[in-house]
Copies of this chain bind each other. A is one copy, B any other.
């Protein structure tokens, strides 16, 4: 009953096996092997357009290097006020960019409100130029609270961004879960909706360590190879990431694992809704369930072996949460089993 996080899981057997399959033999280092090149092409197929792909070590690196690619002097990027980039990455994007800032924009359930975004960007318009230069907008898909943007919602945001001349970045740490949730194509969810650059995460969805910056807008990626080198994210044995992605994409494994994780969250949500002792904070389209439990109940479940996190700050839930209650997060992954979820369901029902 481990719902702590999807990065507590290990690697999917197919991915692990493919790594072993590629263990022998010599291959050109630093991203130029035949396998690396094949995987770059595979990304272009999946995105249905020519893309540039840069493997990196972590999702944080993908985000911070994406911001570096968009960097301007005195730069300001606009993100949701609960974005991972501002809340969880220890200032990495500020560090990578030599001081560019993240300006928080409000929005319901983890999603930037396009009107609020427009107002936020306009605060940096000509009259207030001394504040800095707008440089990018970034959204997280699926969001930090487990919700997803529809393609139309992304388009609404990209329209605001592009009207102000700003590229749109997508933090896709849970990219696959979002694709599975809104049942669309990669192209629709990204460049057809105006996304210019993506942090493409495979780690949370069954890889060991497979993250990449995927550049969709050819105006952006020019310097990324150099920025990555200087940021010490240039792998000598790059093929060990390629081997993971090879298996990840084969037979749509990545969508299968994401759909499974999402289904496990739906099952978990149903169990919580059915229980008398807990309720959903909001509906979980992807693989994260947020629920309100009494602290006693949470402790009881944890004592019985369930792992999940107290989500601290109640995101606009004041008044909806009782004094003895709190918000809790449950994450499912490719490795979550029906049995695990049902065991938890029995426990919470008890």
Interface, chain A (partner B; CB < 8 A): 2, 4-5, 7-13, 15-17, 19-20, 22-30, 56-61, 63-65, 73-76, 86-102, 123, 127-128, 130-133, 203-204, 208-209, 223, 226-227, 229-237, 239-240, 307, 310, 312-313, 335
Contacts and interface: CB of A to CB of B under 8 A. Distances in A.
Contacts of A312: 127-128
A91 B99 contact: yes
A158 B236 CA distance: 30
Contact of A97 (B12, B13, B99, B236): B99
B90 A74 contact: yes
A47 B30 CA distance: 30
Contacts of A8: 26-29
A89 B75 CA distance: 12
A247 to B, nearest CB: 12
A241 B86 CA distance: 27
A233 B232 contact: yes
Contact of A74 (B16, B75, B91, B132): B91
Contact of A233 (B4, B58, B234, B239): B58
A130 B225 CA distance: 11
Instruction: Report the 10 A-B pairs with minimum CB-CB distance, sorted nearest first.
Output: A94-B99, A57-B57, A7-B236, A61-B232, A95-B99, A74-B90, A60-B232, A2-B26, A74-B91, A16-B23
A22 B335 CA distance: 13
Give the most central of A27, A63, A229, A235: most B CB within 10 Å.
Answer: A229
B95 A230 contact: yes
Nearest to A5: B29
Contacts of A30: 7
Contacts of A87: 128, 130-131
A229 B28 contact: no
17 contacts: A5-B236, A7-B30, A7-B237, A8-B27, A10-B240, A11-B19, A16-B20, A19-B19, A56-B57, A56-B232, A58-B235, A87-B128, A90-B131, A91-B132, A93-B99, A95-B231, A128-B313
